[in-house]
Structures are given as structure tokens and as C-alpha cells.
Structure 1
Amino acid sequence: MMAQNEDFVIGRHPALAALKSKQAVNKVFIQSGLKADALKEISALAKKKDVIVNQVPKAKLDLLADGQNHQGVVLAVAAYEYANLDQLFEQAEKKGEDPFFIILDGIEDPHNLGSIMRTADAAGIHGIIIPKRRAVQLTATVAKTSTGAIEYVPVCRVTNLVQTVEELKKRGLWVFGTDMHGTDFRKWSAKGPTALVIGNEGKGIAPLLKKKCDEMLTIPMVGHVQSLNASVAASLLIYQGFTSRGN
């Protein structure tokens, strides 16, 4: 039995990222009989960190990975740690940049959260804010989809997004939401301290939270399907913000 406060990192790239980061790794499970260079590197890194490496049959990894493609490696890690709001501000300060945060209002699909983290890392986002309830948390699936970005983008978990947005506004941030009706996102400038709210996959942003946004942004669409996957929409908006900040 695994301890309750353990989670799993699944796949070669996420495993390497976890071993190279400060993430606490408890055990490494490698499929016996596989000779890939990536697995040798994982094994060597684990031994350097004094982490136990277990050679196990594929069936054991299939069980730990719960049907995900493990590529011959699974790490048992301490559950992912969440940052607090001040740590997100510190991340921006360290880089000498105005804060640029992403707020996710009830994202439920772990693949969407992982993809958003991957884009956030690529675009230098200083942190992601998620609610504690009715939303996906940091899990092994999120970690795998993020391809290692989970190790670099701090995630802050809050009880109440409306109160958090109020606090961010008091601390000088301009808060933008996403909606069917709003300013064309291609005209948006994210210069200065900025937070961008991405809504739930089906329902969008909760009405109370929408009221707290300074401005709504919309992605114009001319096709037959008038919606985009949440992580795709987030990527377009994050990169518009990234571009407007002169990056």
C-alpha cells in the first residue's frame, strides 16, 4: 500500500523533470528488462539523490499508472505542494517583472490543467490560482500532461476566488475575464500587473467572479463550432498577453 500523502509521476520526461527539481521523490519504479538511455539517466539521477530504484514487471507499472502510458517508469513522490499568494508575487519580483497570473475558475479536466501549466511555463507566467473545491487539483495526470512544467509554475489553492480577486485588485492587479461578449483579445495588452481568469469548460466564469473582472475578452470565431477547448483558449490568451508585454 502507498501512503495517503503520496502521488505518482508517470512517464520518462515528467520523471526526469521531477528528479532534477526539488520535488521530494520517495521511490522510483522502472520496468525490468528495458534498456532505454532515458531510463538509465533516471536511474542514475535517483541513485545520486539516494532514492530507492525498484526494477518491477510491466504489470506493476500498469497498475500504478492506472492505464496511462508510463514508458517504463513511475515515481512515487510526496504529494505536490501548493504555493501561497505571496510566493506568486515573489516569483514575479525575482524576475524583475510585473506579476502575470492565471486564475482558473473550476477547470475539471486534469489534461486541461496540465496543458495550461505547460503554456504558462513557456510564456513565463508567475503563477496559477485554483479553487480548493469543485475543480481539478494537482495530480499525477496533471503532472504527466504538463511534461514537467508542474515543477516550475507555482500553483496557489484558495478557498474563495472572488475574495482572492478582490485582494489582487487591492495589490494593483488589473483583472481580465473571458466571455462570448467582450473586447477582441487581439487588442488586449497585459502590460502592468495582470491576472487572467479562464472559466470552467462548460459553464465559463461564475457570474459573481465575472462581476469582479475589470474587462472581458473574447476570442472571435467564424466557424460552425462556437467554442474552443479551455486549454486552447487559455493558450491563445496567454500568448497574446506574453506578446503585448514585449516578450
Structure 2
Amino acid sequence: MARPGRPGAGNSKKKGPMKGTGGHGRKSLEGKGPTPKAEDRSWHVAGKRKAAQERYVAAGGKGRPGGKPAGGGASRKPKAGDDTETVTGRNSVLEALRARIPATALYIAQRVEMDDRVKEMLSIATHRGIPVLEVMRPELDRMAGFDGVHQGVALKVPPYEYAHPQDLLEEIVDRGDLPLLIALDGVTDPRNLGAIIRSTAAFGGHGVIVPQRRSAGVTSAAWKTSAGAAARIPVAIAPNLTTTLKELKKQGVFVLGLDGDGDVALPALQLADRPVVIVVGSEGKGLSRLVTETCDQIVSIPISSATESLNAGIAASVALYQVATLRSASGE
């Protein structure tokens, strides 16, 4: 007499596909072949790196833009908490690389247009061992900020290293140059700072001085607006602007303040052929009282009566241009 089995129990002695399964249970053990290499999987980081390398080589480049940097250094993407600044825009990034700023990573948008600037960026980064990471454009948009324009490239750089005002002056004098400096009093917009740095470079200035408090610093916005000039023009930080200006006066530097009610019109300036520091105030409040009392002269820029004032960046540009013109005329 056959022993009744448990309801639903299978017969372990039966071979072949079991009833109702179609043999799926047995076939699932047969495997699906070897796992593809990471670099052969398009969605994998290694696959994306390989694709970036192929596009780079096809564009005429050399090196390893998506992998470890030349020289064997480890590739590292900065963490969100890293104390770094992001330089964006092709001119700014290229100037920073040319100036050998110790960058930590170069970001390139996927399918970026490979013009001469981008090729030079990749070449410099490869030779210096800077990791090159290919990212999607939305990621670059996030890195550039709300109103940033990255042009498909971004560079991570360490926090800006400010000079000391006295060291800056000594370096200028040691080179045999006639000092021309710009000091900012209450200018808090980093884009104005970037524009002033750019004008300082354009008109032969030697550096910019900013106070430690209530002032714009060299941020990514300033880097961008400077169009790369921040890599060439030093910015010094003054613990106290009034005290720093007084120390500069002791060193033979004349302090000129820009103000609409100045007693000397800019075209009639007589001190352009001397060591000078031009102090620019904020558009709203202008120069502070203590800074005004420290200035050797208060200089005004003649403008149309229909215009109330100039912003700090434009005022600094006009003053620098005038000083450069007067120095050129006098042979300085």
C-alpha cells in the first residue's frame, strides 16, 4: 500500500522538468555567461571614463583625461565639504592653470566643444597630474551657481591665498616699479571685486587691497568676473584699512580717495607720477569717514548730471586708466 504524501509535496525521485515549472528552476542554475568588464558597461564609471578617453583621443588629445593623472597620482573628486573654490569659464580656468594654481580637479562637460582653450586645459592638467572628470552639464550648472556661466568647464582650486599689504608693496618696489594699488572701502559685491582686479591688470596696476571685514573676497564669482586676472594680480587683505593706509603713507605712498564731491577733478590729478593707492568706496555709502580723513586727496570723476554715480568697478577702471595715461605721457 502506497504511503500518502503531503499535499503539494514534489516527488524527489522524478527527473526532468517538474510539472508546472517549465524547467525554470533547473535552467536558472545554468548561468548567463561571464560578467562584462566594468569598462565595457556604458553605465559604469569605468565605462564612462573609457568613452571620455576615446572622444579625447579622437579630438587629437593625448594622456588620460578620465582616469588617473599622469605620474600615478590618485584621482579624487572633491567632497561636498571640501574648502575649495570653483573657477568657471574658459578664460578663467585656462588662466588659473597657466598660473599653476594648485588645482584639485578639472571638470569637463560631456561632448564639450574642443576649441584650442579646452585642448590646452587638458594638456596642462595631464602634465601636472590634475584629475580630469567628465560630468553632465547640469552638474556644471550646479557648480557654477545660479547666475554662473561655465562654458562647459570648471576648475576646483584651494581657498585664495591673500598677500599682506606691506609685503605686496615691498615686492613692487624691489622690482623697480612705481606702485599703483587699488584699495576697496565697503565694496561687498564679489563681481565688482573681480571687475576691479581685471581693470588693475589691464591698466598696469600692481595689486588690490581689501579690508578683512565688510568686504568682498576672492570667491568663484570674483574669479569669473576677473576673466582670469585673479591668477596674475595679487589681492592683499588688511586687518584694518585705515591703519594700513596710514602705514602706506609712511612708506611714501599717496592715498587718493574717489568721491563725487572731491576737491580735485581726475583729469587735473597731479600725483599720478608718484606711488599711489586709489581708494574706492561703495556705490551707496561711498568712502567711510575715517578713510576720507586719511586720504591725501579726494578726487572726483566728472560725469553727466543725469547720472547720479558710478559703481565701484567702473569708477576704479576710469581712475586707473587716467593714471596710466598720465604716467605714459610723463614717461613713467
Q: TM-score normalised by the shorter chain: which range applies? A: over 0.9
Q: CA RMSD in A?
A: 1.4
8 Å CA contact 1:113, 1:142 repeated in 2: yes
TM-score by length of 1: 0.96
In 2 relative to 1, CA 22–44 (structure 1 residues): closer, same or farther, beyond 3 Å? closer
Q: Give the equivalent residue in structure 2 for 1:203.
A: 285
What does the per-residue CA deviation read over 1:37-81, in whole Å, with 9 as the maximum and x for residues that have no partner? 222221121111100000111111111111311000010111111
Q: Give the equivalent residue in structure 2 for 1:114.
A: 194
Q: Give the equivalent residue in structure 2 for 1:8.
A: 86
Higher strand residue share: 1
Q: How many pairs were matched up?
A: 247
8 Å CA contact 1:24, 1:77 repeated in 2: yes
Unaligned runs of 5+ in 1: none
Q: CA deviation at 1:203?
A: 0.3
Q: CA deviation at 1:87?
A: 3.0
Distance 1:56 1:94 in 2: 45
Question: Larger radius of gyration, structure 1 or 2?
Answer: 2
Q: Does 1:27 align with 2:105?
A: yes
Unaligned runs of 5+ in 2: 1-78
Q: CA deviation at 1:3?
A: 4.1
Q: Give the equivalent residue in structure 1 for 2:265.
A: 184
8 Å CA contact 1:108, 1:201 repeated in 2: no
Matched letter for residue 21 of structure 1:
A
Q: Does 210-219 or 78-87 show the bigger shift?
A: 78-87
Q: Give the equivalent residue in structure 2 for 1:81.
A: 161
Distance 1:91 1:186 in 2: 29
8 Å CA contact 2:168, 2:207 repeated in 1: yes
SS of match in other structure, 1:47:
helix
Corresponding residue to 2:253 among 150, 155, 173: 173
Distance 2:152 2:250 in 1: 48
TM-score by length of 2: 0.72
Q: CA deviation at 1:86?
A: 3.1
Q: Which structure has more RCO (C-alpha within 8 Å, separation ≥ 6)? A: 1
Q: Does 1:53 align with 2:132?
A: yes
Q: Does 1:71 align with 2:151?
A: yes
What does the per-residue CA deviation read over 1:82-101, in whole Å, with 9 as the maximum and x for residues that have no partner? 01123312442354222111
Corresponding residue to 2:313 among 220, 227, 231: 231
Corresponding residue to 1:146 among 204, 226, 229: 226
* 4+ residue runs over 6 A deviation: none
Q: Does 1:39 align with 2:121?
A: no
Map 1:155-166 onto structure 2 (within 5 A).
Answer: 155-166=235-246
In 2 relative to 1, CA 12–94 (structure 1 residues): closer, same or farther, beyond 3 Å? farther
Q: CA deviation at 1:191?
A: 1.0
Q: Does 1:216 align with 2:286?
A: no
Distance 2:125 2:324 in 1: 36
What does the per-residue CA deviation read over 1:138-191, in whole Å, with 9 as the maximum and x for residues that have no partner? 000100100011011111111111100110011111111112222110111311
